[in-house]
Every structure is written in structure tokens, then in C-alpha cells.
């Protein structure tokens, strides 16, 4: 063959071979990608649903429902939580109810009777509806119904607490609608409280730790899908997790800014928010119709989580605006606890943080002091005033157990025959430190707003201080499990910083004071109220 003929044929003969190589390479890449994704999906599922697989903590990290679903919008979040927590999460709610999903120990299922109805005794009922912020997770003496009984309203009125933990606005409405007939002829005052950073979200859920009702707007009517399946196991068997790809969900819900707008579109966030707006506005309308048709005096009360206590949480702005606009349009009275939290804390976040509890059982809810502040909002709504000067609010707060705590109170006293300086923060009546005998004891009370300080002047020389430190026995039995901390300072140097032990396991104190001029004890923390914040030093002695 002539050389020119051979060279001119080569490019044409090579083109099909090159195309085949490219096609095969792309096919190999595609197959490899599919195999990798399928393998990744299977591996992820294996880790998620095999509790014994830890992988150095990775397994526990991945077994978090928030990586695959939104607890404010999707049932799958709560279903996954049940799966990850195992058998303990499958227990039925003891107060389960086919209409509202559940009640609590203060509200009987099916009849919706308040366990405190016998307290009415001819007084006008005040019915407080809401979620756990209305229910209160503090000790009974710090809850709204107890504060109400100590208020000026108790002579002619009685507060029945219909707040139920975990409720959304839909359940609040259903409980209100189901219970109002019990008070026919008694002309109750109704308070509809809403946690604006959460209650509207819950209305689109059918499952939130337990099965719950799901309301829908059908032919311009608000309807429920039917009786609630109250068995958690049966509900999950009939309504399993709907997630098809956990790997894809892990990408959708990861917290980085990468493709954040596109991922929001894929999650259909805008459509879900639109549904929440529409459904909750309709529920508010039905609540207002229910109350107005009965000609009942009522008002709406807004609660806030700590992040929204002083200013609007941007992620929940639409919820606040919806409630405020609805009340303005309907002419309903609206009271916001934020106004009172801001006034009580002088709009300072550190001060406001003292109105919220941490750890079990409060977990970010109001502590006893926070309930007192929020009760001023209830008092304001009961009075029906359009506005209330701050001075009048603070006078009321002082009268009913809250003094001006913005600045610490400094007083002097004598303990153990030595002069002391007491620094306290004044939330509540009564002493914060005192000496008792016999037997000889030094007792101190912590305060939610700051440490209680007892400073001894050692003008008369002392070589050491001894005693036995512990919490009071009643606090160990009835109070929260959060800790109080006891600190001892000698001439400005911390010599002891210790969680206060229980009464049955006291801590022996032996503090060297030789050549020193001052000894200061500091007690901080909050276990749920004044009655829970006492500690005792038995047989305190200066030697």
C-alpha cells in the first residue's frame, strides 16, 4: 500500500474507537458513581440502625434525627427519634386521648375536667390554655395557678391551668373547644397562650413523640383526619418513616452554606411555611369564633424561648407577625410576655437568662422567677389595661414577691459571733442566709439572678473554719437535679469550688485561715425556686 493511502485512512478509522473509549469511560464513571451512592446509602443505614456500631463516636453523631428531617415540620423527625431511642420511646402516653392526642395529670382525658375544679367554690374560673410554658415545669408552688392564688384576683377568681406540654396551636384549640362546655353558666375568662417560637410549627405534625391530631382546611372548613391512634407502636407500624434515601437527606439538612438556597428549595421550605401560615391563621380564627360566639372575655398571651425573650428571633418572625396581625384584625386583646421580661431584666440578656432554667426538668422553660415575671403579663391581661407604666408594673412585682433585682442588695449581720456582709439579688421574700441553733447551723439560699455571698471579717484571728456542707433533705426529694455550687474564697483566693452534695453525703469543710483577714462563701445556681435553693453547713466553727 502506498504510504499516503495508509496515513490518510488512519484518522477516520480511529474516530469510532475514540468514541467507544469515551462512552465506556463515562459508563464506568456512571456505574462507579451509582455503586458508590448505593454502597454509601447501605453503609449509612447499617450504621444508623445498628446501635452496637459506634465507630469512635461517629455512629452516635449520625443517629441524630436533625441530620435527616426537620422536627418543626416533618413527622419523620419524631419517628426517627423513636427508632434511635428504642423501646423506651415506644411507650404510650398515660393520659392519651383520641381527640387531642394526650393531656396531662391536671386534665383528665375524654372528659377534659380540671383536677382543680373543686377549688372554684363559687369563684369565676380563669382558664389558661397553652403548651408547657403555660403548664409550667417548676415545682407546684411556683406555677401560675399557685401564684394566682396568692394574688389580688384570688378572692373572686380561680385559675385552672389547661396548659399541656408538647401542644401545638391545633391541640390548644381542640382542648379549648372540648372543655369549654364544662364551664357553661360560669362565665369563665379565657387566656389563650402561644409559644410563638414553636406552637405554630407543631400544627402541621401528625406525630410528635406520640400520635397527635392533624387539622386540614377542606372546602373552606377546618377538619381533622379522624380519631387519633393512641398506640405509639401501632401508629408507627401503620405510618413508617417515609425517607427513601438517608444519604440524600444528610446532604439536604447539613448545616453548611453550600448550596443553601437550592437545598431550601429541594426541602420545599417555602411551601411548608405557607401551609403553616394558612393553617394556623384558620385555627386562630376558629378559636376566636368559639370564644366570641359564647361571648366570653378572653385575651391572647405570647410566651418566648430565651433566644426570643428580648428581641424577635428572625427565624420565627412570621409567627409573631401572624399572631399580632390576627389580634389587631379581630380586635382581640394581646399581651406579650416579652414586654415584662425586658422590663424585669432592664433589657440585658445576662439578666434575662436568669428567668430560664437549664437541665432537667426545666430545659429552657421559665424557672420560678420567670413565672413570676410572666404572671405580671397575665395580671396585665386580667386588668384589661391598654398600657401599664413600668413603675406600676414594678410596684406590683414588689408587692407580690419580686423586689428590684437589677442591682444586688448589700446588708450586714452577725453570724458565729463575727460580723458578715451579705450580698444578695433579692428575687423573693425572706432571708438569704441565717444562723440557726440548736443544733448550730449556717444556712444559705442561692438565687437565680446571682450568687449569694457571705463575707466574714476575721478581725478576731482564726486558724481554720470547719463544718459539714450539704443540701437540705427536702430539696433532694422534691427539687430538680440541677446543681448548686459552693465556693470558698480566702483573701481573694478561691480555695474550694464544689457542687453541693446531697444531705446523705455531706462534704467535710476544713479551711485554713491562719494569718488571713477574710473568708467569703458564695452559693450559686437554681434548682427550681427558693425552697429548693437552700444549703446547710452543720456545726460551723471558727477555731
Find all residues with CB under 8 Å of 12, minimum gap 6, and list them: none
Same domain, 395 and 421: no
Same domain assignment for residues 223 and 169: yes
How many helices (H) and strands (E) the chain has is answered by 17, 22
What is the rounded distance in angstroms from the CA atom of residue 208 to the CA atom of residue 202?
A: 8
CA dist 284 and 173 (Å) reads 8
Q: Which residue has the cell 377549688?
A: 119
Q: Report the pLDDT value the prediction gives residue 216, as an integer from 0 to 100.
A: 95
3-state secondary structure of 23: helix
Please report the pLDDT score of residue 428 as a whole number: 47
Strands 507-512 and 464-471: antiparallel
Rounded Cα gap, residues 438 and 198, in angstroms? 52
Q: Which three cell numbers stand for residue 240?
A: 413508617
- Whether residues 296 and 216 share a domain: the answer is yes
User: Which distant-in-sequence residues (6+ apart) come within 8 Å of 221 by Cβ?
Assistant: none
Q: Is there a domain that residue 22 lies in?
A: no
Task: Note whether 315 and 212 are same-domain residues.
Answer: yes
Q: Which domain holds residue 146?
A: 91-239+283-399
Specify the pLDDT at position 473: 66
What's the confidence (pLDDT) of residue 398? 53
Q: CA–CA separation, 40 vs 57, rounded Å?
A: 18
Nearest one of 414, 399, 406, 493 to 450, comparing CA atoms = 406
Closest among 407, 531, 385, 413 to 471, alpha carbons compared: 531
424 in a domain, yes or no?
yes
Tell me: do 323 and 189 sit in the same domain. yes
Please return the burial class of 337, using the count of CB atoms within 10 Å of its CB with bins 0-12, 13-18 and 19+. buried
Provide the pLDDT for residue 385. Answer: 55
How many structural domains are present in the chain? 2
Residue 104 within a domain? yes
State the cell numbers at 429: 421574700
Mark whether 128 and 165 lie in a shared domain. yes
**Are both 356 and 428 inside the same structural domain?**
no
The answer to whether residue 247 is domain-embedded is no
Judgement on whether residues 433 and 475 belong to the same structural domain of the protein: yes
- Are both 98 and 170 inside the same structural domain? yes
Helix, strand, coil percent values for the chain (each to nearest 5): 40, 25, 35
Instruction: Say if CB 80 and CB 140 are below 8 A apart.
Output: no
345: CB partners within 8 A, 6+ apart: 310, 351, 352, 354, 355
Domain boundary among 368, 399, 430: 399
Name the domain boundary from 399, 432, 454.
Answer: 399
pTM: 0.73
Report how far residue 154's alpha carbon sits from residue 150's, in angstroms, rounded to the nearest whole number: 7
Q: Is residue 86 part of a domain?
A: no
Q: Cα–Cα distance between 127 and 107 in angstroms, integer?
A: 12
Cβ distance 126 to 192 under 8 Å? no
**Low-confidence residues of the chain: pLDDT under 70:** 1-14, 385-408, 426-431, 448-449, 473-478, 480, 528-531
233 and 103 in a common domain? yes
Residue 6 belongs to a domain: no
How many other β-carbons are positioned within 10 Å of the β-carbon of residue 523? 23
Side-chain half-sphere of 115: how many Cα atoms within 13 Å? 9
Q: Crossing angle, helix 368-383 and helix 337-345, to 10 degrees? A: 130
* Other C-beta atoms lying within 10 Å of the C-beta of residue 74: 21
Give yes or no for a contact between 366 and 133, defined as CB atoms under 8 angstroms apart: yes
CB burial of 126-151 (b: ≥16 within 10 Å; e: otherwise) equals bbbbbbbbbbbbbbeebbbbbbbeeb
DSSP letter string, 286-315: HHHHHHHHTT--EEEEEE--GGGSSS--GG
- Domain of residue 534, CATH code: 2.60.120.1060
Residue 460 lies in a domain: yes
Cα 452 to Cα 408: distance, rounded to the nearest angstrom? 9
Contact 371, 144 (CB under 8 A): yes
> Is residue 183 domain-shared with residue 205, that is, in the same domain?
yes
Q: Each residue of 23-80: pLDDT tens digit?
A: 877 887 888 788 888 888 999 999 999 888 888 888 888 999 999 999 999 999 999 9
What whole-number distance in Å separates Cα of residue 293 and Cα of residue 440? Answer: 64
HEC sequence for 111-142: CCCECCHHHCCCCEEEEEEECHHHHCCCCHHH
Is 483 buried (19+), middle (13-18) or exposed (0-12) by CB count in 10 A?
Answer: middle
Residue 381: HSE in the Cβ half-sphere, 13 Å Cα cutoff: 27
CATH code of 334's domain: 3.40.50.1110
H helix or E strand, kind and range, residue 246:
helix 246-252
Written as nine digits, the cell of 115 is: 383536677
Which pLDDT does position 403 carry in this prediction?
39
User: Does some domain include residue 82?
Assistant: no
pLDDT, residue 256, reads 84
Do 124 and 228 fall within a single domain? yes
Residue with cell 453503609: 43
Q: Which of 380, 399, 418 is at the close of a domain? A: 399
Segment 259-290, tens digit of pLDDT: 989 999 999 999 999 999 999 999 999 999 99
Question: Given this model, what pLDDT does residue 262 score?
Answer: 94
Amino acid at each position: 500500500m502506498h504510504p499516503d493511502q495508509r496515513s490518510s485512512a488512519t484518522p477516520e478509522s480511529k474516530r469510532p474507537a475514540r468514541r467507544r473509549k469515551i462512552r465506556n469511560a463515562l459508563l464506568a464513571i456512571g456505574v462507579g458513581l451509582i455503586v458508590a451512592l448505593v454502597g454509601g446509602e447501605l453503609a449509612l443505614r447499617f450504621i444508623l440502625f445498628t446501635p452496637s456500631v459506634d465507630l469512635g463516636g461517629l455512629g452516635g453523631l449520625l443517629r441524630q434525627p436533625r441530620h435527616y428531617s426537620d422536627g418543626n415540620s416533618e413527622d419523620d423527625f419524631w419517628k426517627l427519634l423513636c427508632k434511635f431511642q428504642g423501646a423506651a420511646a415506644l411507650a404510650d402516653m398515660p393520659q392519651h386521648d383520641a381527640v387531642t392526642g394526650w393531656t396531662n395529670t391536671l386534665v383528665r382525658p375524654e372528659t377534659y375536667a380540671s383536677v382543680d375544679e373543686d377549688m372554684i367554690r363559687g369563684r369565676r374560673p380563669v382558664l389558661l390554655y397553652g403548651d408547657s410554658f403555660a403548664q409550667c415545669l417548676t415545682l407546684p408552688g411556683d406555677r401560675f395557678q399557685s401564684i394566682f392564688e396568692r394574688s389580688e384576683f384570688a378572692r373572686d377568681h380561680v385559675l385552672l391551668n389547661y396548659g399541656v406540654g408538647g401542644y401545638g396551636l391545633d391541640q390548644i384549640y381542640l382542648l379549648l373547644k372540648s372543655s369549654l362546655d364544662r364551664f357553661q353558666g360560669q362565665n369563665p375568662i379565657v387566656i389563650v397562650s402561644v409559644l410563638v417560637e414553636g406552637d405554630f410549627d407543631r400544627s402541621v405534625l401528625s406525630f410528635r413523640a406520640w400520635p397527635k391530631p392533624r387539622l386540614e382546611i377542606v372546602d373552606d372548613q377546618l377538619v381533622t383526619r379522624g380519631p387519633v391512634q393512641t398506640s405509639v407502636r401501632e401508629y408507627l407500624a401503620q405510618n413508617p418513616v417515609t425517607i427513601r434515601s438517608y444519604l440524600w437527606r444528610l446532604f439536604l439538612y447539613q448545616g453548611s452554606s453550600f448550596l443553601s438556597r437550592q437545598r431550601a428549595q429541594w426541602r420545599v421550605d417555602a411551601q411548608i411555611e405557607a401551609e403553616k401560615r394558612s393553617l394556623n391563621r384558620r385555627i386562630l380564627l376558629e378559636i376566636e369564633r368559639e370564644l366570641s360566639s359564647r361571648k366570653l372575655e378572653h385575651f391572647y398571651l405570647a410566651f418566648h424561648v430565651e433566644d426570643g425573650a428580648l428581641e424577635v428571633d428572625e427565624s420565627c418572625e412570621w409567627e409573631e407577625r401572624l399572631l399580632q396581625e390576627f389580634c389587631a384584625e379581630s380586635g382581640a386583646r394581646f399581651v406579650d410576655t416579652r414586654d415584662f421580661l425586658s422590663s424585669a431584666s432592664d433589657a440585658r440578656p445576662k439578666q434575662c437568662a436568669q428567668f430560664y432554667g437549664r437541665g432537667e426538668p426545666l430545659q429552657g422553660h421559665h424557672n420560678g422567677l420567670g413565672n413570676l415575671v410572666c404572671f405580671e403579663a397575665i395580671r396585665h391581661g386580667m386588668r384589661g389595661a391598654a398600657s401599664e407604666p413600668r413603675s406600676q408594673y414594678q410596684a406590683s412585682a414588689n408587692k407580690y414577691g419580686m423586689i428590684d433585682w437589677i442591682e444586688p442588695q448589700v446588708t450586714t449581720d452577725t453570724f458565729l459571733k463575727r460580723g458578715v456582709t451579705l450580698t444578695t439579688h433579692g428575687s423573693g421574700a425572706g432571708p438569704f442566709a441565717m444562723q440557726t441553733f440548736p443544733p448550730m447551723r449556717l444556712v444559705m439560699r442561692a438565687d437565680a439572678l446571682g450568687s449569694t455571698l457571705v463575707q466574714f471579717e476575721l478581725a478576731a484571728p482564726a486558724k481554720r473554719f470547719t463544718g459539714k456542707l450539704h443540701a437540705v433533705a427536702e430539696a433532694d426529694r422534691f427539687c430538680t437535679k440541677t446543681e448548686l455550687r459552693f465556693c470558698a474564697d480566702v483573701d481573694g483566693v478561691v480555695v474550694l469550688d464544689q457542687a453541693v452534695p446531697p444531705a446523705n453525703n455531706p462534704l467535710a469543710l476544713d479551711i485554713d485561715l491562719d494569718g488571713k483577714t477574710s473568708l467569703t462563701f458564695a452559693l450559686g445556681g437554681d434548682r427550681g425556686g427558693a425552697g429548693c435553693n437552700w444549703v446547710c453547713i452543720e456545726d460551723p466553727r471558727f477555731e
